[in-house]
Amino acid sequence: MTTISTRWLISGLAGAASLLASTALVQAQDLAALEAAAKKEGMLTTIALPHSWCGYGDVIAGFKAKYPEITVNELNPDAGSADELEAIRANKGNTGPQAPDVIDVGLSFGPQAKTEGLIQPYKVSTWDEIPAEVKDAEGYWYADYYGVMSFMVNKDLVDKVPSDWSDLLKPEYAGQVALAGDPRASNQAILGVLAAGLSEGAKAGQESGEKGLEFFKKLNTSGNFVPTIGKAGTLAQGATPIVIAWDYNALEWRAGLNGNPPAEVVIPASGVLAGVYVQAISAHAPHPNAAKLWMEYLYSDEGQLAWLKGYCHPARFNAMSAAGKIPQALLDALPPAEAYAKAYFPTLDEQAANKAAVTGGWDKVVGANVQ
């Protein structure tokens, strides 16, 4: 029995090795053909990719260095997820430089874009290492990275750093608290409201949206809320001393400030919310092959590590960690692992219900024109 079993095992391993070799060869040939087609197109148009977001400056630079024949045309770096979908709608049939090839949007915007026919399917070669629960089975959209909601604080202007959502309502933070986006269009801001709702004891979904709106109503009525989109510059200038933003944005901004002013990034004690963003290719992409090549780069080891360097947890994080592909230095640059242990990942339905409540009720309930 031992001899027969061993023979079967050797045969099976040899067959598997042969299959892997042939698969790798096919993938290599496919990638070479894709590279040639993308280079012939000669351009990739992105949208809503600020260089300080998730390390995108280095990601784009890495893509350019690898494919110098492809010009990267960057549209409206500060656009929100809703703006990205609108850019596709507005440019149907337009092959000019204002039509985006690819989008990077909040999780709830992926299914919306698919339903509207705004995106096309494409499965990258590392598809199997993207968790099934955060990708469309048909390949229309797929998770790229996630982070948690945090507070970034200008320590020159804020004497006592807030540790939780409830602290933001205190009189000492008058005229200091801002969202990093317009909650009527920005996924980051919409989920900031969801997180506030969770801290108030709400269930994720419509309830979190409604409770979150009530929280921001109190914040606005007290004079603590600043209706300015917060970012590193507004924080440094003192216009928004406390900014509610994804941890990866806040950590990148803090690194860029280089201690001037000193800033602290806080993951709140309650209402710890994780947010997943997704990639997709426009159904009307003027440069579809360049778009596919961009996706291959983003989901390669090089692209995933570039996002991690930008303080984001990439989609292939677990698989790459198990394979020993993640340098310890990149892990050490993130907040302690226990800070993420309490993070809540809302489902698509919960996000959709929250989004509807927030975008539909912000003007009526809070009444602050964020811009």
Question: Which amino acid is it at 144?
Answer: D
Could you identify the residue written with the tokens 């960690």?
A: 321
Name the token pair of 196: 């506030």
Residue 328 pLDDT: 93
User: Confidence class of residue 226 from pLDDT cuts 50, 70 and 90?
Assistant: very high
Average per-residue pLDDT for the chain = 90
The predicted structure's pLDDT at residue 29:
62
**How far apart, in whole angstroms, are the C-alpha atoms of residue 218 and residue 17?**
63
Angle, nearest 10°, between helix axes 206-221 and 348-365? 30
d(CA 206, CA 236): 35
Q: What is the spatial distance between Cα 96 and Cα 281, in angstroms, rounded to a whole number?
A: 16
* Percent of the chain surpassing pLDDT 90: 80
pLDDT at 13 over 80: no
Fold of 147-273+342-365: D-Maltodextrin-Binding Protein; domain 2 (3.40.190)
N- to C-terminal Cα separation, the chain: 74
Answer whether residue 340 shows pLDDT above 90.
no
- Over 80: is that where the pLDDT of 190 sits? yes
CATH 3.40.190.10 positions along the chain are 34-145+275-332, 147-273+342-365
Average pLDDT over residues 139-157: 95
Q: What single letter denotes the amino acid at residue 81?
A: S
Average pLDDT over every residue of 8-21: 35
> Looking at beta carbons, which pairs linking 338-343 to residues 24 or more positions away fall under 8 Å?
339/148, 339/267, 339/272, 340/148, 340/267, 340/272, 340/274, 342/272, 343/148, 343/272, 343/273, 343/274
| Mean pLDDT for the stretch of residues 253-276 | 93
This prediction's pTM: 0.78
The topology (CATH level 3) of 34-145+275-332 is: D-Maltodextrin-Binding Protein; domain 2 (3.40.190)
* Cα–Cα distances in angstroms (integers) from residue 102 to residues 95, 173, 248, 284, in the given order: 13, 39, 21, 10
Evaluate whether 43 touches 134 at the Cβ level (below 8 Å). Answer: no
Q: How many other C-beta atoms lie within 10 A of the C-beta of residue 226?
A: 23
| Chain segment 70-125, per-residue pLDDT in tens | 999 999 998 989 999 999 999 999 999 999 999 999 888 999 999 999 999 999 99
Task: Determine the pLDDT at residue 19.
Answer: 41
Instruction: Kindly tell me if the per-residue pLDDT of 12 is higher than 60.
Output: no
pLDDT value of residue 23: 44
Identify which of 311, 303, 304, 306 has the alpha carbon closest to the alpha carbon of residue 255: 311
Whether 144 shows a pLDDT value over 70: the answer reads yes
The per-residue pLDDT for 11 is 32
